[in-house]
Structure 1
Amino acid sequence: MSDATFQDGAERAVTLTAADAEDLQVLSAMVQDAVLPITEMTWESGRRRFAMLINRFRWEDRDAAERRGRAYERVQSLLLVDDVLKVATQGIDRDDKDTVLSILALTFEPGEDGTGRVVLVLAGDGAVALDVECLNVTLRDVTRPYVAPSGQAPSHGD
């Protein structure tokens, strides 16, 4: 079985930007159940940018895969948060380079005058908190879709 292409599904790579809390809810749904090695997470303090290279489950393709009886897909995507002033982590060992993180949700806690905190909620009670000057988050697919290694869609007991 070969990996899929965006052309196979007559779709294009995803590029979405969140500038407010409502936009961020859409991105949160798109990155739910994304996984990444801890080594694929970085903060460039000079550029005020936090970046993650994630392996995103293609929720937008799930129904089509089921209708056509084909494999579920993942795609590598960049999750970029700009205008970051400070980064803090909780419940993850940043020194354990073998750690694989799983994103459950993205949330925004507004502050004063457009500032706030973007929180990446991780499985296992982990979190990454990003204090931001303003909400400026981008999700961009950077590879072609590939067959999900597990062969299954993530399940949440629904």
Structure 2
Amino acid sequence: MSNDARFEDAGDHPLYLSAADADDLRVLSSLTQDAVFPIGEMTYRPRERRFALLLNRFRWEDRLAAERRGRAFERVQSVLAFDDVAAVRSQGIDRGDTDTVLSLLALAFEPGEDGAGTVTLTLAGDGAIALEVDCVNATLRDVTRPYVAPSGKAPDHG
């Protein structure tokens, strides 16, 4: 009999996860909620059909351990990448203002035909980025060591 993985099992190891369907994408959404990134850290490469963001991600998977041990909450830089992207649209953001910092609230997939559809990145302040995709093909990879969250607090939506 095997046990399910627990958040505590991750320890300080970097995340490297992939999403191949809407359920998988919900997991990535929960881990990237409240991630922040400057517009300049967002890129689309049409020839490669790849869209990627360099995020400063709150480490939700470490929140309970930090609270229990009385240590600081952490963030980590992560790359959130989507492959098989046919087009990118945005609303409510000025992509020319590369210094503006955006906050990611959620990821969602709206299916179309034959596995294709739209991945929507919902941003704070009524902004959104829509990716027209052939299929869900996303990865989330931590690329730095965790660091103390500058605010010292966990994000709170209550």
What TM-score do you get using the length of structure 2 for normalisation? 0.93
Match of 1:103 in 2: 104
Q: CA deviation digits over 1:63-99, x for unaligned, max 9?
A: 0001111000000000000000000000001111221
Match of 2:29 in 1: 28
Partners of 1:25 and 1:97 in 2: how far apart?
Answer: 28
Shift of 1:11: 3.2
Amino acid at match of 1:61: D
Q: CA deviation digits over 1:101-129, x for unaligned, max 9?
A: 00000000000000000000000000000
Instruction: Please provide the CA RMSD for this pair.
Output: 0.9
Match of 1:65 in 2: 66
Shift of 1:27: 0.3
How many pairs align?
149
Shift of 1:10: 3.8
Q: Give 5+ residue unaligned stretches, structure 2.
A: 1-9
Secondary structure at the aligned position of 2:140 is classed as strand
Secondary structure at the aligned position of 1:35 is classed as strand
Amino acid at match of 2:40: T
Match of 2:93 in 1: 92
Report sequence identity in percent. Answer: 69
Q: Give 5+ residue unaligned stretches, structure 1.
A: 1-8
